């Protein structure tokens, strides 16, 4: 495929079958390889869409500074786009993220403000909102509430999946900003009303849930529960086990959040196979495993790996 | 009937620091009532008049109960219930 520049190549990712992990000939798993985007994650789609919308409505002027709370991938994607479009990026990122995320952000020219590990991304959001209020000329695109995030999945990811897999019965993705699930979910429901839209939510170590009170909890403004059929919480043991299974059985080297998504997808596959249904289950490979190598996720026993990522924001 | 309940750090002041407690109930609402009898005050932190509080997620065997029957979700012996505050991803 030929594109005029790198940004034009965002999206158009392959959908690959998983013949070894699919339980029967009638229940098939399909992986949407979002790690094939320019910075290696699904977030390139939302970052590009949010910047283009802000350019179109005049929010972003040449030379502007973009501020964003992010656990890493969205920041990396924003930095990649910003570098080409001439913006400066400041990311507020929790300190308990992998070393590679810091390296990649700096590589693409972003500045990093670390937020405390305790409280995870909630703290990053709080710190970013505080910085935004004190620096009114900075532009916070705010992935958790920016309609361009789900819209790009409605406009691109959803149609790509339906074109490649018209027989789709289930769509499974990670729940973070909720942009992928909201956008793809709405698109698929309009065309396949019976499709199941399933969220896999990472369950981190206790540190991340260490809020001072429950009112500090956070639900993204984009989240609309009615789009989803069900929502599963997946802990680090299951996520790591599936990440390794995907690598060993199908050769796909994915990040840890993809393992959590695969765990939910395999649960649906087993249920469909057990009740004799025909199912085509598509799930998102959010990113590759490269930026998690230093966490120890791929080495030693599962227990050692689980220990190694405890306290980390691994999704 | 014994159901294992995982208590988040933020609510362990009610359970004397216990991370995992056992309670009974035919439904999630019954379970929350039993928890409140054992650990007074816990219920108000988990539910309000409208049902589950906005920033509280409850999972039955890892599935979000909002997509089951909410507080009316039936429970069985050996089930595992996890209570967690809602946090940001992304």
CB A217 within 8 A of CB B86: yes
Contact status of B6 with chain A (Cβ, < 8 Å): no
Question: Closest by alpha carbon to B79, among B67, B64, B62, B55?
Answer: B62
Mean pLDDT of A9-33: 98
The domain segmentation of chain A, as residue ranges, is 7-36+156-309, 43-140
Query: Is residue A272 predicted with pLDDT exceeding 90?
Result: yes
Mean pLDDT of A67-86: 96
Packing angle, helices A99-107 and A73-85, rounded to 10 = 10
Distance from CA of B33 to the nearest CA of A (A): 20
Contact check, Cβ <8 Å, B62/A234: yes
Give, as one character, the DSSP assignment of residue A71. S
Rounded to whole angstroms, how far apart are CA atoms A196 and A169?
Answer: 6
* Residue A277: per-residue pLDDT: 97
Each residue's pLDDT tens digit, B30-57: 999 999 999 999 999 999 998 999 999 9
Query: Is residue B24 predicted with pLDDT exceeding 70?
Result: yes
Rounded to whole angstroms, how far apart are CA atoms A195 and A305?
Answer: 35
Check if A32 is active-site: no
| Helix, strand or coil, per DSSP, at residue A62 | coil
Residues of chain B with C-beta less than 8 angstroms from the C-beta of A145? none
Each residue's pLDDT tens digit, A106-145: 999 999 999 998 888 889 999 999 999 999 999 999 999 9
Give, as one character, the DSSP assignment of residue A2. -
Catalytic position from the list A77, A115, A257, A291: A257
Contact check, Cβ <8 Å, B10/A211: yes
Tell me, yes or no, if the two domains A7-36+156-309 and A43-140 fold the same way: yes
Distances (CA, A) of A202 to A80, A99, A108, A141, B40: 26, 20, 27, 24, 30
- Per CATH, is A7-36+156-309 categorized as 3.40.50.1100? yes
Query: Is residue B72 predicted with pLDDT exceeding 70?
Result: yes
Mean pLDDT of B1-27: 95
Rounded to whole angstroms, how far apart are CA atoms A42 and A73?
Answer: 8
Residue in B closest to A228 by C-alpha: B67
* Residue B90: per-residue pLDDT: 59
Contact check, Cβ <8 Å, B67/A233: no
> Picking from A70-79, A151-160, A184-193, A209-218, which range would have the lowest pLDDT averaged per residue?
A209-218
Rounded to whole angstroms, how far apart are CA atoms A44 and A63?
Answer: 21
* Residue A213: per-residue pLDDT: 78
Residues of chain B with C-beta less than 8 angstroms from the C-beta of A229? 67
Catalytic position from the list A22, A32, A41, A43: A43
CATH of domain B3-85: 3.10.20.30
Contact status of B44 with chain A (Cβ, < 8 Å): no
Rounded to whole angstroms, how far apart are CA atoms A309 and A98?
Answer: 9
Give, as one character, the DSSP assignment of residue B74. B
Check if A257 is active-site: yes
Mean pLDDT of A172-190: 97
Query: Is residue A251 predicted with pLDDT exceeding 70?
Result: yes
Averaged pLDDT of chain A:
95
CATH of domain A43-140: 3.40.50.1100
Mean pLDDT of A146-159: 98
- Residue in B54, B67, B90 nearest the CB of A230: B67
Residues of chain B with C-beta less than 8 angstroms from the C-beta of A235? 62
Distance from CA of B12 to the nearest CA of A (A): 11
Both tokens of B82, joined, read 């996890």
Rounded to whole angstroms, how far apart are CA atoms A197 and A283?
Answer: 10
Looking up tokens 């080495």, which residue turns up?
A299
Query: Is residue A238 predicted with pLDDT exceeding 80?
Result: yes
* Residue B89: per-residue pLDDT: 74
* Residue A210: per-residue pLDDT: 79
The domain segmentation of chain B, as residue ranges, is 3-85
* Residue A215: per-residue pLDDT: 79
Looking up tokens 């909201």, which residue turns up?
A182
Judged by phi (left if over 0) then psi (alpha if -120 to 50, else beta), residue A55 lies in: alpha
Number of neighbouring beta carbons within 10 Å of residue A305: 23
């Amino acid at each position: 495929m030929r594109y005029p520049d790198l940004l034009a190549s965002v999206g158009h990712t392959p959908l690959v079958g998983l013949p070894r992990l699919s339980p029967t000939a009638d229940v098939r798993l399909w992986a949407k390889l979002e790690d094939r985007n320019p910075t290696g994650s699904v977030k390139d789609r939302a970052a590009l869409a949010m910047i283009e919308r802000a350019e179109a409505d005049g929010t972003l002027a040449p030379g502007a500074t973009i501020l964003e709370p992010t656990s890493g991938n969205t920041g990396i994607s924003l930095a990649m786009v910003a570098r080409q479009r001439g913006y400066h990026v400041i990311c507020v990122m929790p300190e308990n993220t992998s070393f590679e995320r810091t390296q990649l952000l700096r590589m693409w020219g972003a500045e990093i403000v670390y937020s405390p590990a305790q409280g995870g991304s909630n703290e990053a959001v709080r710190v970013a909102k505080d910085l935004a209020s004190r620096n009114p000329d900075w532009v916070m695109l705010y992935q958790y509430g920016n309609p361009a995030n789900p819209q790009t999945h409605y406009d691109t990811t959803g149609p790509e999946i339906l074109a490649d897999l018209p027989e789709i019965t289930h769509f499974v993705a990670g729940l973070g900003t909720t942009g992928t699930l909201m956008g793809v979910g709405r698109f698929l429901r309009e065309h396949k009303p019976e499709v199941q839209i399933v969220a896999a939510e990472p369950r981190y170590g206790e540190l991340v849930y260490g809020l001072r009170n429950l009112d500090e909890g956070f639900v993204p403004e984009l989240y609309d529960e009615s789009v989803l059929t069900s929502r599963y919480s997946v802990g680090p043991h299951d996520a790591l086990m599936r990440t390794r299974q995907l690598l060993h059985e199908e050769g796909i080297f994915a990040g840890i959040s993809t393992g959590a998504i695969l765990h939910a997808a395999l649960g649906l596959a087993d249920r469909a196979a057990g009740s004799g249904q025909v199912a085509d289950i598509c799930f998102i490979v959010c990113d590759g495993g490269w930026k998690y190598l230093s966490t120890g996720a791929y080495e030693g026993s599962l227990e050692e790996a689980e220990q190694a990522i405890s306290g980390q924001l691994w999704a | 009937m014994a159901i294992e309940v995982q208590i988040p750090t933020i609510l362990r002041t009610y359970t004397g620091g216990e991370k995992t407690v056992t309670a009974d109930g035919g439904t999630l609402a019954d379970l929350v009532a039993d928890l409140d009898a054992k650990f007074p005050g816990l219920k108000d932190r988990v539910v309000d008049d409208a049902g589950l509080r906005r920033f509280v997620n409850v999972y039955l065997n890892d599935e979000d109960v909002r997509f089951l029957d909410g507080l009316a979700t039936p429970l069985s012996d050996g089930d595992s219930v996890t209570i967690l505050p809602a946090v940001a991803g992304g």
